[in-house]
Amino acid sequence: MSNSTVLITGASTGIGAVYADRFARRGHDLVIVARDQSRLEALAVRLRQQYSINVDVLNADLTKSSDLALVEERLKNDTHIDTLINNAGVAQSGSFVEQTPELIEKLIALNITALARLAAAVSPRFAQQGKGFIVNISSVVGLAPEYKMSVYGASKAFVLFLSQGMHQELSSKGVYIQALLPAGTYTEIWERAGIDISNSSPMMDVNELVDAALVGFDRRELVTIPPLHNDTRWESLDMARKELLSDIKMSEAATRYKAI
Protein backbone atom coordinates (compact mmCIF):
# COMPACT_ATOMS: atom_id res chain seq x y z
CA MET A 1 0.00 0.00 0.00
CA SER A 2 1.09 3.58 -0.68
CA ASN A 3 0.36 6.92 0.98
CA SER A 4 0.97 8.86 -2.22
CA THR A 5 -1.83 10.52 -4.17
CA VAL A 6 -2.47 10.47 -7.91
CA LEU A 7 -4.36 13.31 -9.60
CA ILE A 8 -6.16 12.22 -12.76
CA THR A 9 -7.90 14.58 -15.19
CA GLY A 10 -10.75 13.42 -17.38
CA ALA A 11 -11.37 10.73 -14.78
CA SER A 12 -15.14 10.28 -15.05
CA THR A 13 -15.02 7.82 -17.98
CA GLY A 14 -12.74 6.01 -20.39
CA ILE A 15 -8.98 6.11 -20.00
CA GLY A 16 -9.08 8.34 -16.94
CA ALA A 17 -11.56 6.15 -15.07
CA VAL A 18 -9.49 3.03 -15.76
CA TYR A 19 -6.33 4.81 -14.56
CA ALA A 20 -8.22 5.68 -11.38
CA ASP A 21 -9.14 2.04 -10.85
CA ARG A 22 -5.62 0.78 -11.50
CA PHE A 23 -3.88 3.26 -9.20
CA ALA A 24 -6.49 2.64 -6.51
CA ARG A 25 -5.79 -1.08 -6.87
CA ARG A 26 -2.11 -0.28 -6.25
CA GLY A 27 -3.07 1.43 -2.99
CA HIS A 28 -2.77 5.08 -4.02
CA ASP A 29 -5.15 7.75 -2.84
CA LEU A 30 -6.75 9.74 -5.63
CA VAL A 31 -7.88 13.17 -6.70
CA ILE A 32 -10.21 12.67 -9.66
CA VAL A 33 -11.03 15.62 -11.90
CA ALA A 34 -13.72 16.05 -14.56
CA ARG A 35 -16.81 18.06 -15.47
CA ASP A 36 -19.34 15.28 -14.73
CA GLN A 37 -19.67 15.41 -10.95
CA SER A 38 -22.28 12.66 -10.69
CA ARG A 39 -20.05 10.19 -12.51
CA LEU A 40 -17.05 11.25 -10.45
CA GLU A 41 -18.99 10.74 -7.23
CA ALA A 42 -20.18 7.29 -8.32
CA LEU A 43 -16.63 6.31 -9.26
CA ALA A 44 -15.29 7.63 -5.96
CA VAL A 45 -17.82 5.63 -3.95
CA ARG A 46 -16.92 2.41 -5.78
CA LEU A 47 -13.16 2.91 -5.43
CA ARG A 48 -13.38 3.76 -1.72
CA GLN A 49 -15.46 0.66 -1.04
CA GLN A 50 -13.46 -1.68 -3.25
CA TYR A 51 -9.92 -0.60 -2.36
CA SER A 52 -10.22 1.22 0.99
CA ILE A 53 -8.42 4.31 -0.27
CA ASN A 54 -9.18 8.03 -0.05
CA VAL A 55 -10.72 9.65 -3.12
CA ASP A 56 -11.28 13.40 -3.46
CA VAL A 57 -13.65 14.59 -6.18
CA LEU A 58 -12.71 17.81 -7.94
CA ASN A 59 -15.44 18.98 -10.30
CA ALA A 60 -13.78 21.20 -12.90
CA ASP A 61 -14.08 22.23 -16.54
CA LEU A 62 -10.45 22.68 -17.56
CA THR A 63 -11.40 24.93 -20.47
CA LYS A 64 -12.48 27.53 -17.89
CA SER A 65 -9.67 29.62 -16.41
CA SER A 66 -11.16 29.69 -12.91
CA ASP A 67 -11.59 25.91 -12.77
CA LEU A 68 -8.15 25.31 -14.22
CA ALA A 69 -6.62 27.61 -11.61
CA LEU A 70 -8.22 25.56 -8.81
CA VAL A 71 -6.61 22.37 -10.08
CA GLU A 72 -3.29 24.15 -10.50
CA GLU A 73 -3.41 25.29 -6.88
CA ARG A 74 -4.16 21.76 -5.71
CA LEU A 75 -1.14 20.45 -7.63
CA LYS A 76 1.11 23.17 -6.28
CA ASN A 77 0.10 22.87 -2.64
CA ASP A 78 -0.90 19.26 -1.98
CA THR A 79 2.42 17.61 -1.20
CA HIS A 80 0.80 14.17 -1.07
CA ILE A 81 0.27 14.31 -4.85
CA ASP A 82 3.30 12.73 -6.50
CA THR A 83 1.69 11.65 -9.79
CA LEU A 84 -0.24 13.61 -12.43
CA ILE A 85 -2.15 11.77 -15.15
CA ASN A 86 -2.78 14.49 -17.75
CA ASN A 87 -5.59 12.69 -19.55
CA ALA A 88 -8.42 15.17 -20.23
CA GLY A 89 -8.91 15.87 -23.92
CA VAL A 90 -11.34 16.13 -26.80
CA ALA A 91 -11.28 14.93 -30.40
CA GLN A 92 -12.54 16.68 -33.52
CA SER A 93 -14.98 15.86 -36.29
CA GLY A 94 -14.89 17.23 -39.80
CA SER A 95 -12.04 18.46 -41.96
CA PHE A 96 -9.85 21.47 -41.20
CA VAL A 97 -11.89 23.77 -43.43
CA GLU A 98 -15.02 22.70 -41.56
CA GLN A 99 -13.66 23.55 -38.10
CA THR A 100 -15.29 26.48 -36.35
CA PRO A 101 -13.26 29.00 -34.36
CA GLU A 102 -15.13 27.91 -31.22
CA LEU A 103 -14.27 24.22 -31.72
CA ILE A 104 -10.62 24.99 -32.43
CA GLU A 105 -10.38 27.22 -29.36
CA LYS A 106 -12.01 24.61 -27.11
CA LEU A 107 -9.78 21.80 -28.36
CA ILE A 108 -6.60 23.84 -27.90
CA ALA A 109 -7.75 25.02 -24.46
CA LEU A 110 -8.16 21.46 -23.21
CA ASN A 111 -5.63 19.40 -25.19
CA ILE A 112 -2.80 21.94 -25.06
CA THR A 113 -3.31 24.83 -22.65
CA ALA A 114 -4.77 22.92 -19.71
CA LEU A 115 -2.36 20.01 -20.08
CA ALA A 116 0.69 22.29 -20.27
CA ARG A 117 -0.44 24.49 -17.38
CA LEU A 118 -1.10 21.55 -15.08
CA ALA A 119 2.28 20.04 -15.88
CA ALA A 120 3.89 23.42 -15.29
CA ALA A 121 2.03 23.84 -12.00
CA VAL A 122 3.36 20.64 -10.46
CA SER A 123 6.81 20.33 -12.04
CA PRO A 124 8.63 22.86 -9.82
CA ARG A 125 7.48 21.07 -6.68
CA PHE A 126 8.40 17.66 -8.08
CA ALA A 127 11.84 18.94 -9.09
CA GLN A 128 12.41 20.46 -5.65
CA GLN A 129 11.36 17.22 -3.96
CA GLY A 130 13.52 15.17 -6.31
CA LYS A 131 10.64 12.86 -7.21
CA GLY A 132 7.44 12.91 -9.21
CA PHE A 133 5.61 11.30 -12.10
CA ILE A 134 3.77 12.93 -14.99
CA VAL A 135 1.90 10.99 -17.67
CA ASN A 136 0.80 13.04 -20.69
CA ILE A 137 -1.74 11.43 -23.02
CA SER A 138 -0.74 12.02 -26.62
CA SER A 139 -1.86 9.94 -29.64
CA VAL A 140 -0.43 8.18 -32.68
CA VAL A 141 -2.52 10.72 -34.64
CA GLY A 142 0.16 13.24 -33.66
CA LEU A 143 2.55 11.28 -35.89
CA ALA A 144 0.14 10.97 -38.81
CA PRO A 145 -1.09 14.04 -40.72
CA GLU A 146 -2.39 11.49 -43.24
CA TYR A 147 -5.28 10.78 -40.85
CA LYS A 148 -6.69 14.23 -41.67
CA MET A 149 -7.42 15.21 -38.08
CA SER A 150 -5.30 18.31 -38.37
CA VAL A 151 -6.12 20.32 -35.25
CA TYR A 152 -6.47 17.27 -33.00
CA GLY A 153 -3.30 15.68 -34.41
CA ALA A 154 -1.38 18.92 -33.99
CA SER A 155 -2.46 19.11 -30.35
CA LYS A 156 -1.24 15.57 -29.74
CA ALA A 157 2.05 16.27 -31.53
CA PHE A 158 2.45 19.16 -29.07
CA VAL A 159 1.90 16.79 -26.15
CA LEU A 160 4.60 14.40 -27.41
CA PHE A 161 7.10 17.22 -27.98
CA LEU A 162 6.30 18.77 -24.61
CA SER A 163 6.85 15.44 -22.89
CA GLN A 164 10.19 14.92 -24.61
CA GLY A 165 11.28 18.44 -23.71
CA MET A 166 10.18 18.05 -20.11
CA HIS A 167 12.17 14.82 -19.93
CA GLN A 168 15.29 16.67 -21.06
CA GLU A 169 14.83 19.28 -18.33
CA LEU A 170 13.44 17.25 -15.44
CA SER A 171 14.77 13.69 -15.59
CA SER A 172 18.04 14.72 -13.93
CA LYS A 173 15.98 16.16 -11.06
CA GLY A 174 14.23 12.85 -10.39
CA VAL A 175 11.01 13.59 -12.29
CA TYR A 176 9.74 10.87 -14.63
CA ILE A 177 7.77 11.91 -17.72
CA GLN A 178 5.83 9.44 -19.84
CA ALA A 179 4.11 10.23 -23.14
CA LEU A 180 1.39 7.69 -23.90
CA LEU A 181 0.36 7.33 -27.55
CA PRO A 182 -2.85 5.33 -27.98
CA ALA A 183 -4.36 4.59 -31.37
CA GLY A 184 -8.11 4.10 -31.70
CA THR A 185 -9.57 3.10 -28.32
CA TYR A 186 -13.16 2.35 -27.37
CA THR A 187 -14.16 5.34 -25.23
CA GLU A 188 -16.83 8.05 -25.31
CA ILE A 189 -14.47 10.51 -27.01
CA TRP A 190 -15.81 9.50 -30.43
CA GLU A 191 -19.46 10.07 -29.59
CA ARG A 192 -18.70 13.37 -27.93
CA ALA A 193 -16.86 14.52 -31.07
CA GLY A 194 -19.69 13.39 -33.32
CA ILE A 195 -17.54 10.72 -35.01
CA ASP A 196 -19.28 7.54 -36.17
CA ILE A 197 -17.07 4.51 -35.46
CA SER A 198 -19.66 1.87 -36.34
CA ASN A 199 -17.78 0.93 -39.53
CA SER A 200 -14.26 1.56 -38.26
CA SER A 201 -11.51 -1.03 -37.97
CA PRO A 202 -11.38 -2.85 -34.61
CA MET A 203 -9.95 -0.68 -31.85
CA MET A 204 -8.34 -1.40 -28.49
CA ASP A 205 -10.27 -2.02 -25.31
CA VAL A 206 -9.61 0.78 -22.83
CA ASN A 207 -8.62 -1.66 -20.06
CA GLU A 208 -6.00 -3.25 -22.29
CA LEU A 209 -4.67 0.19 -23.22
CA VAL A 210 -4.21 1.38 -19.64
CA ASP A 211 -2.74 -1.92 -18.46
CA ALA A 212 -0.20 -1.75 -21.28
CA ALA A 213 0.51 1.90 -20.48
CA LEU A 214 1.26 0.96 -16.88
CA VAL A 215 3.76 -1.67 -18.03
CA GLY A 216 5.56 1.14 -19.83
CA PHE A 217 5.19 3.34 -16.74
CA ASP A 218 6.76 0.70 -14.51
CA ARG A 219 9.61 0.33 -17.01
CA ARG A 220 10.05 4.12 -17.00
CA GLU A 221 9.63 4.43 -20.76
CA LEU A 222 9.67 7.97 -22.13
CA VAL A 223 7.33 7.10 -25.00
CA THR A 224 4.84 4.25 -24.71
CA ILE A 225 2.89 3.16 -27.81
CA PRO A 226 0.76 0.14 -26.87
CA PRO A 227 -0.55 -0.58 -30.41
CA LEU A 228 2.94 -0.48 -31.98
CA HIS A 229 3.96 -4.11 -32.43
CA ASN A 230 7.43 -3.50 -33.84
CA ASP A 231 9.09 -1.19 -31.33
CA THR A 232 12.17 -0.77 -33.51
CA ARG A 233 10.02 1.49 -35.74
CA TRP A 234 9.88 4.12 -33.01
CA GLU A 235 13.58 3.70 -32.28
CA SER A 236 14.38 4.20 -35.98
CA LEU A 237 12.16 7.27 -36.22
CA ASP A 238 13.77 8.85 -33.18
CA MET A 239 17.25 8.04 -34.46
CA ALA A 240 16.43 9.55 -37.87
CA ARG A 241 15.29 12.73 -36.12
CA LYS A 242 18.56 12.98 -34.22
CA GLU A 243 20.57 12.33 -37.37
CA LEU A 244 18.65 15.08 -39.16
CA LEU A 245 19.53 17.51 -36.38
CA SER A 246 23.21 16.61 -36.72
CA ASP A 247 23.11 17.75 -40.36
CA ILE A 248 21.74 21.20 -39.58
CA LYS A 249 24.31 23.99 -39.90
CA MET A 250 22.87 27.25 -38.66
CA SER A 251 25.45 29.53 -40.25
CA GLU A 252 24.63 28.89 -43.92
CA ALA A 253 21.95 27.61 -46.27
CA ALA A 254 22.35 24.19 -47.82
CA THR A 255 23.96 24.08 -51.26
CA ARG A 256 20.67 23.13 -52.94
CA TYR A 257 19.23 26.51 -51.92
CA LYS A 258 22.11 28.60 -53.29
CA ALA A 259 21.87 30.21 -56.71
CA ILE A 260 24.01 28.56 -59.37
Residue 218's CATH number: 3.40.50.720
Phi, psi of 50, rounded to the nearest 5 degrees? -75, -35
Structural domain includes residue 234:
no
CA 239 to chain centre: 23
Structural domain includes residue 197:
yes
Of residues 91 and 242, the one with the higher pLDDT is 242
What percent of the chain shows pLDDT beyond 90? Answer: 82
pLDDT interval class at 190 (50, 70, 90)? low
Looking at the predicted structure, is the pLDDT value of residue 1 above 50? no
Q: In total, how many domains does the chain have?
A: 1
Looking at the predicted structure, is the pLDDT value of residue 233 above 90? yes
Structural domain includes residue 241:
no
Structural domain includes residue 149:
yes
Q: 80-136 pLDDT, tens per residue?
A: 999 999 999 988 877 888 889 999 999 999 999 999 999 999 999 999 999 999 999
Domain of 60?
5-229
Structural domain includes residue 247:
no
Structural domain includes residue 245:
no
pLDDT of 217 = 98
Structural domain includes residue 85:
yes
Question: Which residues on adjacent β-strands are paired with residue 5?
Answer: 29, 81
Structural domain includes residue 248:
no
DSSP string for residues in the chain: ----EEEEES-SSHHHHHHHHHHHHTT-EEEEEES-HHHHHHHHHHHHHHH---EEEEE--TTSHHHHHHHHHHHHH-TTEEEEEE-------S-GGG--HHHHHHHHIIIIIIHHHHHHHHHHHHHHHT-EEEEEE--GGGG-GGG--HHHHHHHHHHHHHHHHHHHHHGGGTEEEEEE---SB-STHHHHHT---TTSPP-B-HHHHHHHHHHHHHTT-SEE-TT-S-THHHHHHHHHHHHHHHT--TTS--GGGS--
